[in-house]
Structure 1
Amino acid sequence: MDPTTSDESSCCSPGETERKSHHSDKVKNSLISRLNRIEGQVRGIKGMIEKDVYCDDVLNQIASVQSALNGVGKLLLEHHMRSCVIERIQEGDTDVLNELLTTMNKLMK
Structure 2
Amino acid sequence: MEEEKVCPGCCHKTKERSEKEYKDLLNRLSRIEGQVRGIRRMVENDAYCPDILVQVSAVNAALNSFNKVLLANHIRTCVADDIREGKDATVDELVATLQKLMK
Superposition TM-score tier, normalisation by shorter sequence:
0.7 to 0.9
Q: Determine if the alignment matches structure 1 residue 92 to structure 2 residue 86.
A: yes
Which one has more relative contact order, counting CA pairs under 8 Å at least 6 apart?
A: 1
Q: Relative to structure 2, which stretch is displaced further, 18-27 or 89-98?
A: 18-27
Task: Note if contact 2:6-2:14 (Cα within 8 Å) is conserved in structure 1.
Answer: no
Query: Aligned partners of 2:74 and 2:6: how far apart in 1?
Result: 18
Pair 1:71 & 2:65 matched: yes
CA RMSD of aligned residues (A): 1.4
Deviations 1:18-39 (A, max 9, x none): 4222321111101100100000
Q: Percent identity?
A: 45
Cα distance in structure 2, aligned partners of 1:92 and 1:76: 23
CA distance in 1, matches of 2:99, 2:25: 21
Partner Cα separation in structure 2 for residue 22 and residue 70 of structure 1: 22
Structure ranking higher in helix proportion: 2
Residue 22 in structure 1 maps to residue 22 in structure 2: no
Residues 1:53 and 2:50 are matched in the alignment:
no
3-state SS in 2 of match to 1:92: coil
Deviations 1:39-64 (A, max 9, x none): 01001101111111001000000000
TM (normalized to structure 1)? 0.83
Task: Give per-residue Cα distances to partners, 1:59-90, cap 9 Å, x unaligned.
Answer: 00000000000111000000000000011112
Q: Which runs of 5+ in 1 are unaligned?
A: 2-8
Give ranges in structure 2 of 5+ residues lacking alignment: 8-12
Query: What is the SS of the residue equivalent to 1:68?
Result: helix
The aligned counterpart of 1:33 is: 27
